[in-house]
Amino acid sequence: MRRQLLPRDLGFEVRPGDEPSLFKWFLASFLFGNRVSQEIAASTWRVLVEEQGCDTPARLCRFTHAQLVGLLGEGGYRRYDESTATRLSLLCRTLMDEYGGRIGGIAEAAEDRDDFERRLLAFKGVGPVTLGIFMSGAGRALFPARGT
């Protein structure tokens, strides 16, 4: 089994208080947590973030469902492109509406790390695999006292 990709594999580091890096890693974790290869997830992430500049929920929300399906297809997502586009739209809208468009907003609203993780799991399409991937790369940035 290959090792899970980390933020540095995508060319960035997740740092405390650095919202773009937190969101980029959340988006990557979301894609890696789906049933596609790491290569397809990474390629799709590059299309969304590097080519289209989707490093914030607001920037991701500017795309229509059809545009997201096209971008996912460009990255190699073909089997789950419709459902993934729907979940991505919901994800960015929820971040905008409930957390001020910030991953840090989730941490601020949460009572503790466990509550933060419950809040992440409440996003449609975020399950234990996505949560584990995200926390492996962002846990220390969000909760420095406890680490990952």
Neighbouring C-beta atoms of residue 41, cutoff 10 Å: 23
Q: Is residue 84 part of a domain?
A: yes
Indicate the pTM of the whole model.
0.92
The total number of structural domains that make up the chain: 1
* Residue 10, domain member (yes or no): no
Angle, helix 113-121 to helix 128-142, in steps of 10 degrees: 140
What's the rounded Cα separation, in Å, for the pair 106 and 2?
31
Enclosing domain of residue 97: 17-136
- CATH code for position 51: 1.10.340.30
Tens digit of pLDDT for each residue in 110-148? 999 999 999 999 999 999 999 999 999 999 999 987 544
In whole angstroms, how far apart are CA 110 and each of 87, 107, 118?
22, 5, 9
Taking only the tens place, the pLDDT of each residue in 5-64 is 789 989 999 999 999 999 999 999 999 998 888 999 999 999 999 999 999 999 999 999
Would 78 be classed as within a structural domain? yes
Say if 124 falls within a structural domain: yes
The answer as to whether 146 is a domain residue is: no
Contact by Cβ (8 Å): 122, 89: no
Residue corresponding to tokens 């974790």: 29
Average pLDDT over residues 91-119: 96
Q: Is residue 2 part of a domain?
A: no
The answer to the question of residue 7 being in a domain is: no
Q: Is residue 142 part of a domain?
A: no
